[in-house]
Amino acid sequence: MSEKPEVSVRERVKLPPAERLIEAYFAPNLARGLAHGFSIEIWSHLAHALMLEHQGIIAAADSARLRQALLALHEAGPDALGIDGRQEDLYSYIERHLTRTLGPETGGRLHTGRSRNDLHTTTARMIQRDKQLVAMATLNVLRHRVLVLARTHAGTVMPGYTHWQHAQPITLGYYLLAFADVLSRDADRLRGALRHTNLSPLGSGALATTAFPLDRAMTADALGFDGLVEVAYDGVASRDDAHETVAAMAVLMTSLSRLCVDLQAWSTLEYRFIELGDQHCSVSSIMPQKKNPAALEHIKAAAGMVTGHLVAALSASKNTAFADVSDGVSAINAPVIEALLVSTRAMALLEDVLAALTVFPARMAHMAEIGYGTATELADVIVRETGLSFRMAHNVVASVVAEAIAAERPATSITSAELESAAMAHFGIALTLPAEIVAAALDPVSNIAGRSITGGPAAANMAAMLGSRFAALEDDTFSLATITTRIAAARARTFKAAAE
C-alpha cells in the first residue's frame, strides 16, 4: 500500500476512541455491519459514485477509480479493510481504505454531498429490507403448509374449545383455516412495513440535504427503493419503519406461540390428538418414557424474545430528540435485525414441525362425541322443534348435562326422556322430542354439517374458503417474487454500471 497522506473522520477530536467505548459500542456495531451490511454498503457507495459522476459533481476519472477500488474491495471482502479498532464504523474503514488506496484527493471525493447520517439510515433500511423479504417468503411457505393441512383435515372432527373446555364440535381443518387467516394478516402487516421501509433517505445529508445538485431519485432507483423519504429531516430522524417491522414480527410470533400451546397440549397423553415427529423432540436423561416437544417450546420462547426486541427498539427511541441521535435512530437496528432473524427461523421450524405431524382422527372424533360440545345444538333443536325460547331451552339442556356429568356419562347417553323430565320440572312443558332428533343433535358430524352460514365449518364452506385462501397466497407469493426480483435487478444494474 503506497504512502499517502492520512485523512480521518476524527480530525475534530485528538484522542482515539476509548477502549471501553470501542468494546461497548463501536465493536458490536461494526460486527453487525460486517455480518449484514458489507455488500449492501458497497452497493450504496457505487450508486452514489455513479450519481456524482452523472451530475458532474466529480470527474469521470475519479468516479471510475473509486468504483474500481470499491469493486475490488467487494471482491476481496472485509478482511481487506484491516480492522484494527481505531475507526468508528464500517464506513470509516471503507473510506480509510479508499484514501489509502487512491490517495485523499480521489478517495476523499466519495463522501461529497453525503453524511453518515443519511448513509447509515439508507444501509439500515436496505439490510432490514433484505431480512424482511426472507421473513415474508418463509411466512408464505408456512401459510402454504397450514392451508395444505387444513385441506387434508377439513373433515377431521374434533372438539372446539373455549376457556380450555369443550365448546362446540369443529374440524381440525377449520381450526387451521382460522390460523391461516391470522398468518395472512401477518403477511399484510409485513407488506405494510416493507412498503414504509423501502424508501430512500440517501441525499438527506446530515439533516437538510446539500447544495450539491444530487439526483436522489437516481440513487433510489439504483438501490432498488420504491421512492424517497422526501423530507430530508424525516430521512435521518425517524425510524418508525423499524418500529413497525419489529412490531409486526412480535404480533406474528405471538400467534405462533399460541398455536404451539395448543399443539403441545394436544400431544400429551391426556389429549392424544397429535404426535410430533421424533426429529422435533428431545428426551429425558433419567425418564425413559419422555418425548419432549422441544421445537414447540423453543418457538414459544422465541416469541418472548421477539417481544423483548420490540420493547428494546421502542425503549431505545423513547425520550430521544426527533433528530439524528444514536439511541433513537441507530441503536434500534440490533433488536430489529435480531427479531427478523429469530422470527424467520421460528417460522421455518414450525413449518417443519407441521410437515412431520401425526394426527389421530379417531381419538379427536371420539372426544368430540363423548364431550358435551353438542349441547348448544341440542338447545337449538328444542327451539326449532318446540318453539321454546332459547333461554328456556338452555336451562333444560344445562340441567340434563349437569346430571349426566355428575353420573360420569358421555354426552351421547342423553335421552329425549331426560329432556322431557327437565322441561316439565322447570317449566311444566312437554317437549315430545323424537329420539332420532335428539340423537342427531348429539352427533358432532351433524353439528358441523349444520353450520353452513358464512364462516361456518360445513364442508361446502370449507371448500370455498380454502379455494380463496390458496388463490390469495398464490397472488402474495407472486407479488413478493416480483419485488425481490426487481431489487435484485437494481443491484445487478448498479454493479454492472459501476464495472463499466
Distance in angstroms between the alpha carbons of the first and the last residue of the chain: 25
Query: Rounded distance, CA 477 to CA 315, Å?
Result: 34
pLDDT in tens, 116-141: 999 999 999 999 999 999 999 999 99
SS3 159: strand
Q: pLDDT band for 1, please (50, 70, 90 cuts).
A: very low
Q: In angstroms, what is the C-alpha Rg of the chain?
A: 31
Q: Is the CA virtual torsion 84, 88, 91, 96 positive or negative?
A: negative
Minimal CA–CA distance to 439: which of 466, 407, 417?
417
pLDDT in tens, 384-430: 999 999 999 999 999 999 999 999 999 999 999 999 999 999 999 99
- At residue 423, the pLDDT reads 95
359 forms bridges with which residues in the sheet? Answer: 274
Query: Rounded distance, CA 85 to CA 31, Å?
Result: 11
Specify the higher pLDDT residue, 232 or 10.
232
Portion of the chain with pLDDT greater than 70, in percent: 99
- At residue 3, the pLDDT reads 55
pLDDT in tens, 61-81: 999 999 999 999 999 999 999
Average pLDDT along the chain? 96
Portion of the chain with pLDDT greater than 90, in percent: 96
171 phi/psi in degrees, rounded to 5: -120, 160
DSSP single-letter state for residue 282 = B
In the structure grid, which three cell numbers stand for residue 445, read together? 358430524
SS3 62: helix
What's the pTM? 0.95
Query: Rounded distance, CA 111 to CA 107, Å?
Result: 9
Q: Half-sphere exposure (CA, 13 Å, Cβ side) for 294?
A: 10
According to DSSP, the β-strands at 358-359 and 165-171 are unpaired
pLDDT in tens, 415-469: 999 999 999 999 999 999 999 999 999 999 999 999 999 999 999 999 999 999 9
Does the pLDDT at position 305 exceed 90? yes
Query: Rounded distance, CA 226 to CA 78, Å?
Result: 29
